[in-house]
Structure 1
C-alpha cells in the first residue's frame, strides 16, 4: 500500500485503522466520538485516524454530521478490506459482520499493533499512547508484529 484513496501519502503518516460493525451502534458511536475528540492530538503526532465499516458513504455522512465526527470514514460495503485484515466474520444466522478492531500502521505500512474485539471506554487514549511511542521513532520498526498492512 503506497497511499490511501483519501489523498494521503501513507509514508508521511502513521495510520490508525479502526474497523467497526456499523454506524450508530452505541459502542461504535462512543468510540468514534472519542477518537474525534483526540483527533488533534493524533494529528500532532503525525497520525491519521480512519474508521472503516460496511456502511455506505451516505450513512457515513449522516453519522459524521449527527455526532460532529472529525475522523475519516471509509465504506467497505463488500467487505474486501475487512477480509484482508481478518475482521470479517459470519455472524448469527449466516449474516456477515465486522469485528471491532484497531490497527496501528507505521510510515512503512507495517502493522505495529493490532487491537482486536476492543470495547473499552477511553480506548482512544490508549492508542494515542502507542502512537506517541511510535512517532518518536523516525521510521517506525517491525518489532511487534512485523506484518505489512
Structure 2
C-alpha cells in the first residue's frame, strides 16, 4: 500500500462514525425518538444552524458538541468519564447515533423551560434564526 492509499484509508476510517443528515432524515429520526410533532421544525432549524446536521460538529470557541451542539460547560464531560448534567461524555455526542444527543437536548430543553419558560432559548441560534413558525423545516418530510 502506498502512502496516499494509506492516508486515504486512515481518513475514511477516522470518519467512519461521521454522518451528515439530510433535513427529512433528521426530522424522521427525531420523530422516531419521540420528539413532539409541534417541536420537530424548531429542532430541525436549530440543528441546521448549529451544525449543518453534522454529527461530528465541534465548536472549539464555545466547546459545544454534536449535531445539536451540546455545551460541555454544563451538560457533558470532556474527559472519558461521563459527567455534566446529561451524565455523558462529549465524545458520545460525535457519532452517527444521535439518540444520546436528542436525549440530552431534551433534558437541556426541560431544564431551560423551567428556568425561563422557553426551553429552546438554551440555543443561541433559536433567537437568531428559529424563533418563528418553523413548519417549513418539516415540509414534505412527514
The question of a shared fold, defined as TM-score above 0.5 by the shorter chain, is answered with no
Q: Please, what TM-score do these two structures have when normalized by structure 1?
A: 0.27
Higher gyration radius (CA): 2
Q: Please, what TM-score do these two structures have when normalized by structure 2?
A: 0.28
Specify which structure has the higher proportion of helix.
Answer: 2
Specify which structure has the higher proportion of strand.
Answer: 1
